[in-house]
């Protein structure tokens, strides 16, 4: 009987590649190829039904002088800069509350996580009602608190309040981050808290100097994912405001979509997509660089 | 060590299984590509934008077509189709797998034709003896680009009639049988019918001048003020004169902006956001006293507000406008580029748009006006007072929105201009001047490309 002789990994690589081939082919066909083509189209004039024509960097030059492009950048920046940190803070606060040993904990955890699984379109319809300035839940509550009618926010019908309205709505989905923070908090060794308590640390100090450093890798992860998601915000504006009123919710992705399918300018829209990719990349790299200062990898 | 079970010639069972499975899958895949000899009716794929109750009504019309044409089957698929949501159709055309027939928003037919998205059907149209005289003129003009026919007009929406709530007129001390005919009378009635509650909250609006969005509303009121957006090209020219900054158009936009300022655009928007869904239309519930009525609404009011006491007349006109006034919209049917103009596909379009039976079915089943002016449907509405108002609009109107082959872009720009004027108090003149310049540039670009393509084909 022959002894089993393992062949060298080098010898067996075709088998490995063969097994991975469906995935590689799918990735190449449906991701790498479109990404490459979009880079090519960004250098073209491509009015969708006619063949693309190379025009060099003209699309990028036009972007630099397009005031609506910069407006969409500003709207998206405003949204991301407020919605992401706020969502993280609210998610963390909920996680801290749900980390306490109280009765009905599983029920509360489910309750706060539930909005995350509600489909986005259904959420938009629901929030349209909640944000209704005359009969909506929020303004009814503010009225109940005695706020004068003149001070009540117009939410989606007001240029000033439309972005804060969508930021408020984004908090509805902070249950996703909450679950991650909760898992991370439960992973913090109990003896660290006990040691800190023995040294005289109060609750705030235990949170500030023990819990937060220990869960900082998760905070970094949610920050990056949140930024990527916020920069790509589309559905809420498309369904609820269509960029209005007066372009106050014209976000980057909505402008990109309209450029491609209302103005039929696929080349210009591809250039926008690449600028967005570079912006997200720079933001992520910036956060990663800064993360050296505040993230603690205890392993 | 037990020997593995083998078939004759010593091949292990596992390998036999693999071989058989491979052969089976290959056979199945081969079968997918095999075309059996064609039997049964010719199948025409048809993409349409209807949902809900309208879809069922459309199916009734199609059932009738299939009953009369047993050798043709229409495979109906939904495809969203409007100024911003036609990407399914666009990608199908760009990818070379379009449907045989598609619905096109009439205002975009010439634009899609200019961009090369539709097939030229001039030949079959002439052979079938169809001409522009068979249709309401603005609808036919929308279907033609560079002297070629690219679509057949299907519906003709007379936009708009004025409906007024007689009970609210009586309450406000107005004559319930005397709707406003001039802009001055309209202004007077709006003021008397609007009710503002404590704290500036709107209880009832006399009329919301931008009820159908800034763009559609601006077309409506600009034509009422005697305005114009485009003088179509004459002779062999492909570009006409763009007149978006016509003084009457500016006057109309200023008139709308005056109400946005008077009642507060945010207050009106907040008021409007209370009404979601067809049944909750504020005119049906008495929270808006006058409305611009589109034709389908007459049957909707019968369904959702059967006790509503209302009248239907023409929208008022300014000193330079014509009374009655209005413009025509409506769907058209076309054959997308990349799809062959087969006799069956054209027969479907012809029957739906330019046959007495098809247009009668369209009018009766879908409660819409056919674009085919000779349709026997129009004989059936002689005794309907409300529909006869719409008939006068459809038969006398000389306008579509505009006949520019950049209509989608123009609608987007007009929408933005309205928002900037209403919310940010920008100058109406400056906004329309800007649009005039942008549209001219885009028009020149689109027509240049279209001309190149047409010359290449020659």
pLDDT tens, residue by residue, B320-353: 998 888 999 999 999 999 988 889 999 999 999 9
Task: Check residues A105 and A54 and name the one with the higher pLDDT.
Answer: A54
Contact A132 B273 (CB under 8 A): yes
Residue B12 belongs to some domain of the structure: no
Burial class of A22 by CB neighbour count within 10 A (0 to 12, 13 to 18, 19+) = exposed
Residues B371 and B420 in one domain: no
State whether A1 and B1 contact (CB < 8 Å).
Answer: yes
Using the Cβ of A159 and the Cβ atoms of chain B, whether some distance falls under 8 Å is answered with yes
SS3 string, B241-281, reads EECCCCHHHHHHHHHHHHHHHHHCHHHHHHHHCCCCCHHHC
Q: Does A156 touch chain B (CB under 8 A)?
A: yes
pLDDT for A42 beyond 50: yes
Tell whether B434 lies on the interface with A, counting CB pairs under 8 A: no
Q: Is residue B236 part of a domain?
A: yes
- Among the listed residues B442, B425, B399, B369, the one whose alpha carbon sits nearest the alpha carbon of residue B218: B399
Amino acid B276: pLDDT: 81
A245–B270 CB contact, under 8 Å:
no
State which residue of chain A sits closest to B113, comparing Cα positions.
Answer: A49
Pairing state of beta strands B42-48 and A44-45?
unpaired
Give the residue-averaged pLDDT of B43-72.
Answer: 94
Please name the residues between 114 and 133 in chain A that touch chain B, using a CB distance below 8 Å. 128-129, 132-133
- In three-state secondary structure terms, B216 is helix
The DSSP element (H or E) to which A127 belongs, if any, is: helix A120-130
Please determine, for residue B2, whether its predicted confidence score (pLDDT) is greater than 70: no
Are A246 and B422 an interchain contact pair (Cβ–Cβ within 8 Å)?
Answer: yes
- Closest-CA distance, A158 to chain B, in angstroms, reads 6
Q: How far is CA A175 from CA A94, A98, A103, in A?
A: 8, 11, 19
- What's the pLDDT at A3? 57
From chain B, the residues in CB contact with A149 under 8 A are 198-201
- On the question of pLDDT at A134 being above 90, the answer is no
pLDDT value at position A4? Answer: 55
C-alpha span between B90 and B93 (Å, rounded): 5
Find chain B residues with C-beta within 8 A of A71's C-beta: none
Closest CA to B281 of B301, B259, B263: B301
Tell me, what's the pLDDT at B6? 44
Closest CA in chain B for residue A47: B115
B273 vs A contacts (CB less than 8 Å): 128, 132-134, 156-157
> What is the percent of chain B with per-residue pLDDT over 70, rounded to a whole number?
91
pLDDT at B311 over 90: yes
Write out pLDDT tens, residues A63-121. Answer: 999 999 999 999 999 999 999 999 999 999 999 999 988 888 889 989 999 999 999 99
CB contact under 8 A, B449 and A50: yes
Question: CB A1 to CB B201 under 8 A?
Answer: no
3-state helix, strand, coil in chain A (%, to 5): 75, 0, 25
| Residue B392: burial class (beta carbons within 10 Å; 0-12, 13-18, 19+) | middle
Same domain, B290 and B334: no
Q: Is residue B397 part of a domain?
A: no
Q: Which among B93, B199, B270 has CB closest to A150?
A: B199
Nearest Cα to A72, choosing from A276, A229, A251, A243?
A: A251
Mutate to test the interface with B, among A33, A246, A263 (most CBs of B within 10 A): A246
A19 or B51: which carries more pLDDT confidence? A19
Using pLDDT thresholds of 50, 70 and 90, give the confidence band for residue A262.
Answer: confident
A160 Cβ under 8 Å from any chain B Cβ: no
Cβ–Cβ under 8 Å, residues A116 and A173: yes
Per-residue pLDDT for B18 more than 70?
no
Q: Do residues B225 and B309 both lie within one domain?
A: yes
Distance CA B440, CA A233 (A): 33
Cβ of A154 within 8 Å of Cβ of B274? The answer is no
The pairing of beta strand B42-48 with beta strand B72-78: parallel
Confidence at B293, pLDDT banded by 50, 70, 90:
very high
The model's pLDDT over A119-132, given as tens digits with 9 standing for 90+, comes to 999 999 999 999 99
Name every residue whose Cβ is closer than 8 Å to that of residue B29 and which is 6 or more positions away in sequence.
none
Could you identify the residue written with the tokens 């393509």?
A: B453
Residue A234 — very low, low, confident or very high, per pLDDT cuts 50/70/90? very high
Burial class of residue B47, CB neighbours in 10 A (0-12, 13-18, 19+): buried
Co-location of B306 and B212 in the same domain: yes
- Inform me whether the pLDDT recorded for A258 exceeds 80: yes
**Helical packing angle, A266-294 and A252-261, nearest 10°:** 160
Angle (nearest 5°) at CA B20 between B19 and B26: 90
Alpha-carbon gap, residue A164 to A241, rounded angstroms: 13
Give me the count of residues in chain A: 299
Confidence band of B24 (pLDDT split at 50, 70, 90): very low
Quick: pLDDT tens for B257-276: 999 999 999 899 989 988 88
Residue B380, both tokens: 């059936």
Is A49–B115 a contact, with Cβ atoms under 8 angstroms apart?
A: yes
- Percent above pLDDT 70 for chain A: 96
High-pLDDT (> 90) share of chain B, %: 77
* Chain centre distance of CA B308: 28
Q: Is residue B21 part of a domain?
A: no
Q: How far away is chain A from the Cα of B360, in angstroms, using its nearest Cα?
A: 34
Does any domain span residue B82? Answer: yes
Beta carbons of A258 and B84 less than 8 Å apart: yes
Asked if the structure places residue B449 within a domain, the reply is yes
For residue B271, the chain A residues in CB contact (below 8 A) are: 134
Same-domain status, B221 and B336: no
**Residue B168 shares a structural domain with residue B281:** yes
Neighbours of A252 (CB within 10 A): 27
Does A158 contact B at CB distance below 8 Å? yes
Report the mean per-residue pLDDT for chain B.
Answer: 90
Do A133 and B276 make contact, defined as CB atoms within 8 angstroms? no
Neighboring chain A residues of B214 at a CB cutoff of 8 Å: none
Where on the phi/psi map is residue B96: left (φ > 0), alpha (ψ -120 to 50), or beta? left
Does residue B195 share a domain with residue B227?
yes
Which of B109, B118, B266, B285 is the mutation pick for testing A, counting most A CBs within 10 A?
Answer: B266
Say if A47 is an interface residue toward chain B (CB within 8 Å): yes
Question: With b meaning 16 or more CB within 10 Å and e meaning fewer, what string describes A270-281?
Answer: bbbbbbbeeebe
The answer on B341 and B306 residing in a single domain is: no
Say whether A245 and B200 touch across the interface (CB within 8 A): no
Say whether both B276 and B364 belong to one domain: no
**Mean of all residue pLDDT scores within chain A:** 92
Both B435 and B374 in one domain: the answer is no
Domain annotation covers residue B293: yes
SS3 state of residue B441: helix
Structural domains present in chain A: 12-54 (no CATH), 58-294 (1.10.3720.10)
- Give the per-residue pLDDT at B195: 96
Residue with the larger pLDDT of the pair B412 and B82: B412
B71 falls in which pLDDT band (50, 70, 90)? very high
Query: B178 or A297: which carries more pLDDT confidence?
Result: B178
Q: Do A245 and B419 touch (CB under 8 A)?
A: yes
Asked, for residue B386, whether it belongs to a domain, the answer is: no
Q: At which residue do the structure tokens 């690589």 appear?
A: A13
| Contact call for A157 and B273, based on CB within 8 A | yes
Q: Does A10 touch chain B (CB under 8 A)?
A: no
Q: Are B97 and B119 in contact (CB under 8 A)?
A: no
Contact check, Cβ <8 Å, B274/A148? no
Give the pairing type, strands B152-153 and B72-78: unpaired
| More confident position, B40 or A252 | A252
How many residues are given for chain B?
Answer: 458
Instruction: Tell me whether A241 touches chain B (CB under 8 Å).
Output: no
In the predicted model, what is the mean pLDDT of residues B280-290? 95
* Strand extents, DSSP E, B67-117: 72-78, 101-105
Give the whole-angstrom CA distance, residue B162 versus residue B14: 79
Which residues of B fall within a CB distance of 8 Å from A247?
Answer: 416, 419-420
The number of domains in chain B is 2
Same domain, B151 and B166: no
CB A263 within 8 A of CB A109: no
Nearest-by-CA chain B residue for A162? B266
Q: Which of B153, B152, B274 is nearest to B203 (CA)?
A: B274
According to the model, what pLDDT value does residue B23 have? 47
Cβ–Cβ gap B274/A135 under 8 Å: yes
Question: Which structural domain range is residue B365 located in?
Answer: 42-158+328-381
Picking from B86, B273, B449, the nearest residue to A133 by CB comes out as: B273
Q: Are residues B154 and B168 in the same domain?
A: no
- Taken in order B356, B358, B361, B367, the sign of the CA dihedral is negative
With a CB cutoff of 8 Å and minimum separation 6, the contacts of B139 are B106, B153, B156, B328, B330, B332, B371, B400
ipTM over 0.95 threshold: no
CA distances from residue A215 to A106, A180, A211 in whole angstroms, order as listed: 22, 10, 6
Distance (Å) of CA A287 to CA A25, A283, B434: 33, 6, 41
Residue B10 — pLDDT band, cuts 50, 70, 90? very low
The rounded distance, in Å, linking the Cα atoms of A155 and A132 is: 7
Q: Which residue on chain A is closest to B82 by alpha carbon?
A: A262
* CATH, residue B135: 3.40.190.10
Instruction: Report which of residues B105 and A292 the model is more confident about.
Output: B105
């Amino acid at each position: 009987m022959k002894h089993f002789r393992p062949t060298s990994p080098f010898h067996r690589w075709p088998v490995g590649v063969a097994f991975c081939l469906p995935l590689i082919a799918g990735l190449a066909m449906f991701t790498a190829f479109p990404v490459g083509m979009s880079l090519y189209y960004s250098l073209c004039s491509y009015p969708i039904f006619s063949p693309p024509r190379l025009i060099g960097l003209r699309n990028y030059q036009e972007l630099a002088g397009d005031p609506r492009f910069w407006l969409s950048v500003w709207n998206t920046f405003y949204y991301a800069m407020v919605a992401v940190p706020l969502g993280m803070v609210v998610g963390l606060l909920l996680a801290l509350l749900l980390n306490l040993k109280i009765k009905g904990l599983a029920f509360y955890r489910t309750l706060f996580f539930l909005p995350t699984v509600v489909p986005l379109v259904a959420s938009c319809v629901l929030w349209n009602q909640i944000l209704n300035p005359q009969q909506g839940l929020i303004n009814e509550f503010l009225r109940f608190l005695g706020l004068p009618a003149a001070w009540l926010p117009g939410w989606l019908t007001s240029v000033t309040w439309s972005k804060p309205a969508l930021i408020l709505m984004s908090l509805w989905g902070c249950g996703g981050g909450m679950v991650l923070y909760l898992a991370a908090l439960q992973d913090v060794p109990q003896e660290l808290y006990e040691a800190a308590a023995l040294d005289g640390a109060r609750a705030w100090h235990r949170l500030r100097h023990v819990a937060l450093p220990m869960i900082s890798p998760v905070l970094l992860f949610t920050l990056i994912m949140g930024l990527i998601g916020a920069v790509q915000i589309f559905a809420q504006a498309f369904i609820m405001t269509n960029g209005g009123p007066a372009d106050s919710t014209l976000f980057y992705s909505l402008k990109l979509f309209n450029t491609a399918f209302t103005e039929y300018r696929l080349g210009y829209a591809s250039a926008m997509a690449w600028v967005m990719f570079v912006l997200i990349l720079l933001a992520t790299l910036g956060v990663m660089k800064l993360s050296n200062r505040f993230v603690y990898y205890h392993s | 060590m037990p020997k593995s079970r083998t078939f004759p010639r010593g091949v292990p069972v596992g390998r036999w299984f693999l071989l058989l499975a491979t052969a089976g899958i290959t056979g199945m895949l081969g079968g997918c590509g095999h075309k059996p000899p064609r039997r049964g009716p010719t199948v025409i794929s048809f993409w349409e934008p209807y949902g809900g109750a309208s879809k069922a009504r459309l199916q009734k019309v199609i059932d009738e077509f299939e009953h009369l044409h047993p050798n043709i089957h229409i495979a109906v698929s939904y495809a969203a189709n409007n100024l911003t949501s036609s990407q399914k159709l666009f990608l199908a055309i760009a990818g070379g797998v379009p449907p045989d027939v598609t619905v096109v928003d009439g205002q975009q037919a010439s634009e899609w034709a200019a961009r090369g998205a539709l097939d030229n059907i001039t030949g079959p149209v002439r052979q079938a003896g169809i001409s522009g005289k068979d249709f309401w003129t603005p609808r036919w003009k929308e279907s033609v680009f560079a002297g070629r026919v690219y679509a057949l007009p299907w519906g003709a929406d007379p936009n708009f009639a004025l409906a007024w709530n007689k009970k609210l007129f009586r309450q406000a001390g107005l004559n319930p049988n005397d709707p406003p005919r001039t802009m001055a009378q309209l202004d007077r009635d709006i003021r008397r019918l609007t009710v503002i509650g404590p704290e500036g909250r709107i209880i009832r609006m006399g009329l919301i001048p931008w009820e159908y969005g800034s763009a559609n509303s601006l077309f409506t009121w600009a034509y009422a003020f005697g305005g114009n957006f485009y003088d179509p090209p004459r002779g062999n020219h492909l570009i006409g004169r763009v007149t978006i900054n016509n003084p009457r158009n500016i006057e109309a936009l200023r008139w709308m902006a005056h109400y946005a300022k008077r009642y507060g655009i945010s207050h009106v928007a907040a008021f409007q956001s209370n009404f979601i869904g067809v049944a909750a239309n504020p005119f049906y519930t008495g929270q808006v006293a006058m409305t611009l009525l589109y034709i389908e609404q007459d049957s909707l009011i019968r369904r959702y507000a059967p006790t509503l006491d209302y009248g239907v007349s023409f929208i008022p006109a300014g000193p330079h406008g014509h009374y009655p006034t209005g413009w025509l919209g409506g769907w058209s049917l076309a054959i997308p580029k990349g799809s062959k103009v087969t006799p069956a596909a054209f027969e479907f379009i012809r029957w739906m748009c330019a046959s007495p039976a098809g247009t009668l079915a369209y009018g009766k089943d879908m409660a819409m006006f056919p674009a085919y002016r000779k349709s026997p449907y129009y004989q059936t509405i002689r005794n309907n007072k409300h529909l006869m108002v719409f008939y006068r609009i459809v038969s006398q109107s000389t306008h579509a929105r505009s006949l520019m082959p950049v209509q989608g872009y123009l609608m987007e720009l007009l929408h933005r201009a309205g928002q900037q004027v209403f919310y940010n108090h920008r100058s109406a003149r400056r906004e329309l001047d800007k649009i005039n310049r942008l549209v001219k540039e885009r028009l020149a670009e689109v027509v240049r490309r279209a001309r190149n393509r047409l010359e290449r084909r020659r």
